[in-house]
Amino acid sequence: MQLPAGMSLTWLGHATFLVESPGGKRVLIDPWVMNNPACPDNLKRIDRLDLMLITHGHFDHIGDAVEIARQTGCQVVGIFETCHWLQGKGVRNTSPMNKGGTQEIEGIRVTMVHAVHSCGILDGDRIIYGGEACGYVVTFENGFKLYHAGDTAVFRDMELIGKHYAP
């Protein structure tokens, strides 16, 4: 994938990506960095962040969401139930969504799309219902679109997402 000038996309291991937009906005998708063995040590500390996108509540996608959100004050987008759980952990800047919804945050359009996966949140020794897993189509200030499918099985609507949103 060729990125436009002024953008960067950094893989931090597993499904975690850090995207820097042409306008200097920093977007973290599926924040599992600190205990992620694939994340390079020099990238494990996230000091500045504008937006966090969470695809589902499994530890390897949400593991550092609470700590990073508290440290940076970033806006956190996720499915309604996962955002509710995060609010209960002290995360204040949540933007709950449902599939098909779009929000514009910091000049970046975020559309939540379908994914096929489970979404339980392990909280101590309990598993909490975290809503449904999702993916995102993210449109940056320069019009560049990125599709992050999250953890998902292949499903027919991926073709529709491609045709409709043209990421």
> How many angstroms separate the CA atoms of 134 and 126, rounded?
22
Q: What are phi and psi of 78, to 5 degrees?
A: -165, 175
Q: Where are the domains of the chain?
A: 8-165
Query: How do residues 130-157 score in pLDDT, each as one tens digit?
Result: 999 999 999 999 999 999 999 899 999 9
Q: What does the pLDDT average to over 94-103?
A: 98
CA distances from 78 to 43, 82, 158 (A): 23, 6, 20
Query: How do residues 13-51 score in pLDDT, each as one tens digit?
Result: 999 999 999 999 999 999 999 999 999 999 999 999 999
pLDDT at residue 6, rounded to an integer: 93
pTM above 0.85, yes or no: yes
Residue 2: band (very low, low, confident or very high) from pLDDT cuts 50, 70, 90: confident
Q: Does residue 1 carry a pLDDT above 80?
A: no
> How many angstroms separate the CA atoms of 131 and 79, rounded?
6
Burial (Cβ within 10 Å: 0-12, 13-18, ≥19) of residue 42: exposed
Q: End-to-end alpha-carbon separation of the chain, Å?
A: 11
Q: What's domain 8-165's architecture?
A: 4-Layer Sandwich (3.60)
Query: How do residues 69-84 score in pLDDT, each as one tens digit?
Result: 999 999 999 999 999 9
Q: What is the DSSP letter of 161?
A: H
